[in-house]
Amino acid sequence: MSTVASLCRAARDAQPELANASTELRNAVLRTAAALLSQQEATILEANARDVENAHAQSLNSAMVDRLRLSPERLASISQSLESIAIFDDPVGQISELIERPNGLKVGRMRIPLGVVAIIFESRPNVVIDAGALCLKSGNAAILKGGKEAEHSNAALAHVLSQALVQNGLPKAAMTLLTDRSQVDDLLEQAETVDLVIPRGGEGLIRYVTANSRIPVIQHYKGVC
């Protein structure tokens, strides 16, 4: 079994515990992550500075560098987004369109977690927190693969989410970051353990993932998912 397959299997095994966690516990994970972002600001900014330095060395354009750059203000905004997600209504278990049949049987639609969601994105490191937090809130395990331009920033931010899970007694494997571009093709083969892939980025990324994935894909092409 490949490393990617093992990580996906671990995420699959961890997901039921996350899905069955109480609303309060999942929200506690998000609030813990918000606190850890503040506590680890210096470490995260140091990691980001390495990415920005590498971006300049590779002569990336100023718009790309700006998308990549983190600051105390941007980290504060990311932390606030975690707090905001924590106060969202819990989608897990919500029932809609409930009707009662003539025989007394009640039929409706209940929201349940998808399972394991893989998100492949490009250079914005804040997506680690945004995507990971939304998955955790909704009881889904997350497998994230970001762009190489932000590899150090992504690792520092993913570590925050992993720590928050562990500190609240939930499995670390519910939040996994892939770090090598070569892992993408292997990830797209994991139809037995990954339920959905969401590519977030340019049209080339979307088309590549769609063409090569054995897993259902949510496409957007124009930036709307």
Whether 192 has a pLDDT exceeding 80, the answer reads yes
Residue 193 — very low, low, confident or very high, per pLDDT cuts 50/70/90? very high
195-204 pLDDT, tens digit each: 999 999 888 9
What was the pLDDT predicted at 201? Answer: 86
206-217 pLDDT, tens digit each: 999 999 999 999
Average pLDDT score over the chain: 94
Whether 223 has a pLDDT exceeding 60, the answer reads no
> May I ask the CATH architecture of the domain 3-212?
3-Layer(aba) Sandwich (3.40)
**Domain chopping of the chain, boundaries:** 3-212
Average of pLDDT values for 158-174?
98
Express as a percent the part of the chain with pLDDT over 90: 84
Residue 1 — very low, low, confident or very high, per pLDDT cuts 50/70/90? low
CA atoms within 13 A on the CB side of 175: 31
What was the pLDDT predicted at 225? Answer: 46
Residue 82 — very low, low, confident or very high, per pLDDT cuts 50/70/90? very high
Residue 71 — very low, low, confident or very high, per pLDDT cuts 50/70/90? very high
| Strand, helix or coil for residue 196 | strand
Q: Give the C-alpha separation, 80 to 48, whole Å.
A: 19
DSSP letter string over 91-152?
A: -TT-EEEEEE-TTS-EEEEE----SEEEEEE-S-THHHHHHHHHHHHTT-EEEEE--GGGHH
Q: Are 64 and 55 in contact (CB under 8 A)?
A: yes
| Strand, helix or coil for residue 80 | helix
Residue 161 — very low, low, confident or very high, per pLDDT cuts 50/70/90? very high
What was the pLDDT predicted at 222? Answer: 59
What was the pLDDT predicted at 215? Answer: 97
| 224: its two tokens | 């709307």
What was the pLDDT predicted at 10? Answer: 98
